[in-house]
Structure 1
Amino acid sequence: MPYPHLLTPEEKLADAKELLSLPRIVVICGSTRFMTEMNEAEPRETKAGRIVVKPGCDVKSPHELWSDPGEAGALKVRLDDLHRAKIRLADEALVVGDYIGDSTRAEIAYARSLGKPVRFTHPDVDPDA
């Protein structure tokens, strides 16, 4: 008697999205120096019928929630973990901006390692092109 195929977490998520009739989910990636561009991409993606997730904190801009330099390192780690979770949730990634730094390069590699399509607002910066 063959064993039933056990679904991976990714397959379970895909099935749940289908059962819920969710539209495609796009995660916006890129340097937070491009927060303006991220905020401009969000309504375009929404108008196209996609659910949008993106960075929620721009720690390069002053804010009382991340003003303690002693907590900055731990916050960066938590935010990076949170963004990787958004990439796992998404069906595709949209990279904004005309510059790819180490963090964004890692986000692109992570999305691609999961088989997620990656689009660019500036295709010439694709590190794998």
Structure 2
Amino acid sequence: MSNVPVARPKIVCLCGSLRFSREFATERTRLTLDLTIVLAPEATEAHVLDPLLVRALGELHLRRIDLADEVRIVNPGGYIGEATRREIAYANALGKPVTYFHELAIGDS
């Protein structure tokens, strides 16, 4: 065990399109070095075709949001897809702070 004391760290859940794997990795590293626990979806090598599995993976990600103190949207260029919009709405309904990797333009959501 380390002798470095760490108070209860903040937990951040990363959300966004997995096509932005480089940006997810950058945010994960930055937050980890800030002594933050990072929760994020895992990219899979295979395309998931089973609609029940796709739904289950979406619900699994909502459970990550349940555990988080903050939800961080990874959205280079301001892109936010349908699934991420649902996750933002879920986080908002829970009263979780939502922050963005790329600031939204006025009128975006």
CA distance in 2, matches of 1:117, 1:74: 29
Number of residue-to-residue matches in the alignment: 99
State TM-score, norm by structure 1: 0.70
1:57 is displaced (CA, Å) by: 2.8
- Matching residue within 99, 104, 107 for 1:124: 104
The structure whose RCO (Cα within 8 Å, separation 6+) is larger is 2
Alignment identity in percent? Answer: 41
In structure 1, the gaps of 5 or more residues are: 1-20
Runs of 4+ in 1 over 6 A off after TM superposition: none
CA distance in 1, matches of 2:58, 2:43: 11
Richer in helix (by share): 1
CA distance in 2, matches of 1:90, 1:35: 20
State TM-score, norm by structure 2: 0.82
Deviations 1:85-124 (A, max 9, x none): 0000000010012301111011011011101001101121
- Matching residue within 17, 20, 38 for 1:52: 38
Larger radius of gyration: 1
In structure 2, the gaps of 5 or more residues are: 1-6
Mapping of residues 21-40 of structure 1, within 5 Å: 21-40=7-26
